[in-house]
Structure 1
Amino acid sequence: MINRNAMLVGGIKPHYYCLPVAKREQHRLALCAAATSGDRRFFLGTDSAPHLRSAKETACGCAGIFNVQVCLETLAAVFEREQALDRLEAFTSLNGPAFYGMDVNSDYLVLEKSDAALPLPPPVEAMGETIEVFDPGFALHWRVRAA
């Protein structure tokens, strides 16, 4: 969803700093094409990193993006943009278990689309500080609800 410009243009934005570091736009486009291709070798692997603001906004800030609260919503937007919503479930829920020879989770969530843009979740309060939620840089119109 981001390239290195999200982190660097206009000054360093520590809440976009992750490892591996986001690359050039051509690499982001290639990853997006792979993820939305329907190829069973590609699947979601999340690594949400909830670092306190004080640990991110420092000279030697922690790497990682806290995206768990908007992960599926942002993926739905990307898959929709790529006209691949029919491949989202496989990418998020089926290809990974198949690759590892595991059973598919029997629980499920429902994604709903809103005509109006939805606000980002507020920062999370923890240990007297905040943890910033990933901002994908575009309006979110999808939300998750329990089935």
Structure 2
Amino acid sequence: MDTASALMGFGLLILFVAPVGYMVYNQSFQEKKRAKKLAFLVQQQGFKLDETENINGLSLGLDKTARKFFLIKSGSDAKLKTIDLEQDTKIELLKTNEDGASISNLDEVREISLQMKNTDGGVKKLIFYAEEEDPVTQKTERLDNAIKWQKNLQKYSRS
């Protein structure tokens, strides 16, 4: 009886833990695959990544000498996007509420993003947190990532 109960308990443990383990493994595999794809595509264009990071479905990279910022999104339509930091004049951190107004109270923030304005008048937006898609528990972590990348990009931009 004790052996049968132990085996049943062990079987149930595996039944519930295995899917979680698989999800963690699969997510890690996808991030590594996306990071390798980013490095390969950047190297193909003749640039070198000095700094990289995987953040919520994005792989970000920075070539400090060429002053280029690279990003690739997850998914089947993942294409390399290149942002020339010499063209971008202003990089702002935006924390907006549900009405789209800029706010500072973190509890009311619905979206955290970096907005890059270039000399041509074009605006590019990189979203780090969107309340509809991301867990509320990651809001502070994603804000810290956005601040870090804002500082890095400003350091190498023309402004």
Q: With a CA cutoff of 8 Å and minimum separation of 6, indicate the structure with the bigger relative contact order.
A: 1
Of Structure 1 and Structure 2, which has the larger fraction of its residues in strand?
2
What's the TM-score once normalised by structure 2's chain length?
A: 0.26
Of Structure 1 and Structure 2, which has the larger fraction of its residues in helix?
2
Rg (Cα) greater in structure? 2
What's the TM-score once normalised by structure 1's chain length?
A: 0.28
